[in-house]
Amino acid sequence: MVLKIFFPQCCNRADSGLLVGRWIPGHDSAVVLAVIHYPFIPAQVKQYIQQIQRQSGEELSVLGSWSLPKEGQEGLESFLRDLSTIFPQERWLQISRTMGKMGFTCDILDRSPRAAGQENEKPSRPEEEEDEEKVVFVHYEQRKVMLSQLHPVQLEDAKAAAASELRQVFQTVARSQPLFFLDRYDDGPLRSTHWQTEGREGSIVVELLKRASVPLCLLLSWLLSVWTRFCRLRIFRIFPLSFLSSKLSTCVQLSFRTEHLRSISSPTAAGGHSEFMRKANVVVSLLVDVALGVLLMSWLYRDGHVAALANALVPAADRVATELEQLLQWLMGAPAGLKMNRALDQVLGRFFLYHIHLWISYIHLLAPFVEQILWYGGLSAGLGLTFALSLLSDMVALLTFHIYCFYVYGARLYCMKIYGLSSLWRLFRGKKWNVLRQRVDSCSYDLDQLRLGVVLFQGVLHLSVDFINSFPLFALGLRICRPYRLAEGVKFRVLCEEPGSALHLLMEINPLSCSAAVRTYRTPTYSCYPRDSWAALVKKLFVGELVYPWKHKSTKAD
């Protein structure tokens, strides 16, 4: 058998005395927590250990003796051995160390009835003499073990017997914190060695913060209660305000921050490690957020950065409008975007261009007030960088609302196209959707209805022809199934490198990316080519005919 003794490094040079610790239940191991120095009174040691047990809830005991002999203490080791009769234990550890040597020696006095019976029996085989209990010392840094948390974190009400040996060691050291309050400056009759022997670890700033945390939490709780009553007013439940508060990033961030402050404003201490880590994460993130927000404010209100940003907004909006107009002019008639049919191209293109002109007009109207909006909006950074970013997100969302409208229009048209295609496909087969029974039933249509349905089905189906014809399905399928067939390059890997022989490399193929395969193998359709020639453009310029930025309905192809 192997006996594992977890020994703290701070006790390696401790004076001779008694080892205080705990036997790990269910495992053949012991945890040494402190060394009580000689001289001492055994009754006082027992009373002290019982007091620590009540405070910590751990079954602490005297594990044995620790001997580091010095001059004039020749008979101390035998005295410590005799203490095993005063502190009855099934196993008494007698650990000793000689000055100038690194290792320890450990003698185990087993006083259990089982061991006494084995001593009376004679060994039947010589091999039984070799079955001696071996000792393994596991040195640990007591401060780090006490302050650490072993993961994954288990619940507090988990049974100790079900915990692993290492987890029980960590829990024993962490829960024995009252044992470490006895330092060298204590006036009591006992002296001990542990990680806080030279004095309790602490900070004046931390203690002041602990003192101020209770009234600060009470004040914060009162402010949060006032804020909660204000937010629950009936006026904020009206439709526009309730809708905006649920959609704006600033309002959502404000609600999140309120919940965070409510979680840390409780004056009671955290109940467990998970709750402590959650509160600590919230506090640190809040402090870092506010610090970054203050840095942003110091940069924003210095050297005229607010005015510079306000002056750059209108030119940036004009540039975005120009780029969008060029994109729409290219999409009108191109298969990549708006191309459904020529008439619909004209309507959608002009409709989107009208939105752009309307948007840029509003931007020019707001230009005189942009600097004031940015100046007052920058004050929100005092609440944290996330508030400033949320406000910036809302401003960008409002300034680019027209682009979102483009998406809404396109998505609704596409949805109508899909629903219309499915309905016309059922009509083409002589069926209809039964709304009451939620199923497809057969239906008898008149000749005119069938003719109209077939014509509409063919028209809607024709809208998907350009996409189907131009999309490189084979190339994409080849790229997915056999990527080595479409190579973008090669790479080399060392296959074998031995001294005295040539270098062996393995060449591997880099497959072409899917986007590059689509761009490379996309089939051009008839609508990809320009309808107006350069001669027609020169003729219009020569005779003074207007050249529209979009395709006009009177435009004729040569």
Residue 246 to residue 240: CA distance in whole angstroms: 10
- 344 pLDDT more than 80: no
Q: Tell which residue, 135, 153, 176, 133, has the closest CA to residue 271.
A: 153
Q: Where residue 185 falls among pLDDT bands split at 50, 70, 90? A: confident
Cα–Cα distance measured from residue 394 to residue 377, given in angstroms and rounded to the nearest whole number: 11
pLDDT value, residue 544: 47
Quick one: pLDDT at residue 513? 82
Residue 556: its pLDDT value, please? Answer: 42
Beta strands 192-193 and 29-37, pairing class: antiparallel
Exposed, middle or buried by CB within 10 Å (0-12, 13-18, 19+), for 154? Answer: middle
Q: Which distant-in-sequence residues (6+ apart) come within 8 Å of 58 by Cβ?
A: 22, 52, 172, 175, 176
Q: What is the rounded average pLDDT of the residues 118-122?
A: 54
Listed in order, strand segments (DSSP E) in 349-468 are 431-434, 439-442
Contact 349, 550 (CB under 8 A): yes
* Residue 550 confidence (pLDDT): 37
Mean pLDDT of the chain: 74
Give the pLDDT score at 557: 39
CA dihedral 30, 35, 41, 46 (to 10 degrees): -40
Q: Six-digit token pair at 395?
A: 């401003």
State the DSSP string of 448-508: HHHHHHHHHHHHHHHTTHHHHHHS-HHHHHHHHH-GGGSEEEEEEEEEE--TTS--EEEEE
**pLDDT band at residue 464 under the 50/70/90 scheme:** very low
Question: Is the pLDDT assigned to residue 30 strictly greater than 80?
Answer: yes
> Mapping DSSP to helix (H, G, I), strand (E, B) and coil, where does residue 108 land?
strand
Mean pLDDT across 337-341? 55
Three-class DSSP category at 125: coil
Helix (H) or strand (E) holding 314: helix 305-331
Q: Is residue 310's pLDDT more than 50?
A: yes
H-helix or E-strand spanning residue 164:
none
Question: Phi/psi class of residue 352: alpha, beta or left (left: φ > 0; alpha: ψ in -120 to 50)?
Answer: alpha
CB contact set of 157 (below 8 Å; sequence gap of 6+): none
- Its sign, for the CA torsion 272, 277, 280, 282, is negative
Q: Is the pLDDT of residue 349 over 70?
A: yes
- Location of structure tokens 């780090």: 144
What the block records as the tokens of 555 is 């435009």
Find the angle CA(353)-CA(358)-CA(364) to the nearest 5 degrees.
125
**258-262, 328-332, 387-391, 503-507, range with the lowest pLDDT:** 503-507
Indicate the helix (H) or strand (E) that contains 21. strand 17-23
pLDDT over threshold 60, residue 214: yes
Q: How far apart are CA 31 and CA 3, in angstroms?
A: 11
The model's confidence at residue 548, banded by pLDDT at 50, 70 and 90, is very low
Q: What percent of the chain has pLDDT over 70?
A: 68
Which residues pair with residue 18 across a beta bridge? Answer: 36, 65
| pLDDT bucket at 538, cuts 50 / 70 / 90 | low
Report the C-alpha gap between 73 and 282 in whole angstroms. 56
What is the pLDDT confidence band of residue 335, given thresholds at 50, 70 and 90?
Answer: low
**In this structure, how many other beta carbons lie within 10 angstroms of the beta carbon of residue 478?**
17
Is pTM beyond 0.95? Reply is no
Say yes or no to pLDDT of 405 above 80. Answer: no
Indicate the pLDDT class of residue 466, thresholds 50, 70 and 90: very low
Q: Which of 110-124, 142-156, 460-474, 500-514 has the highest mean pLDDT?
A: 142-156
| Section 51-56 average pLDDT | 89
Tens digits of per-residue pLDDT, 134-172? 788 888 888 888 877 776 666 655 444 457 778 888 888
pLDDT at 295: 92
* pLDDT over threshold 80, residue 530: no
* 298-308 pLDDT, tens digit each: 888 888 888 88
- Over residues 448-467, the mean pLDDT reads 52
Q: What is the DSSP string of 248-279?
A: -HHHHHHHHHHHHHHHH--SSPPSSHHHHHHH
Question: Would the pLDDT of 254 be above 80?
Answer: yes
pLDDT winner (highest mean) among 34-38, 137-141, 543-547: 34-38
- Compute the residue count for the chain: 558
Q: Give residue 469's pLDDT.
A: 45
- 21 — pLDDT class (breaks 50, 70, 90): very high
- Asked if the model's pLDDT at residue 525 lies above 60, the reply is no
Contact 196, 185 (CB under 8 A): no
**pLDDT the model gives residue 526:** 41
**Residue 346's pLDDT is what?**
73
Query: 329, 549 in Cβ contact below 8 A?
Result: yes
Segment 490-503 mean pLDDT? 56
Query: With 80 as the cut, is the pLDDT of residue 406 above it?
Result: no
Least confident piece of the model among 58-67, 324-333, 345-354, 477-486: 477-486
Cβ atoms < 10 Å from Cβ of 89: 16
Q: What is the rounded CA–CA span in Å between residue 60 and residue 139?
A: 19
* Per-residue model confidence (pLDDT) at position 558: 36
User: With pLDDT > 90 as the criterion, what percentage of the chain qualifies?
Assistant: 1
Q: Is pLDDT of 123 > 70?
A: no
pLDDT reported for residue 20: 92
Whether the bond between 483 and the residue before it is cis, its omega within 30 degrees of 0, is: no
DSSP code for 303: T
Per-residue pLDDT, 172: 87
Q: For 63-97, give the DSSP string.
A: EEEEE---TT-TTHHHHHHHGGGTS--SEEEEEE-
Q: Which of 15-29, 323-337, 523-537 has the lowest mean pLDDT?
A: 523-537
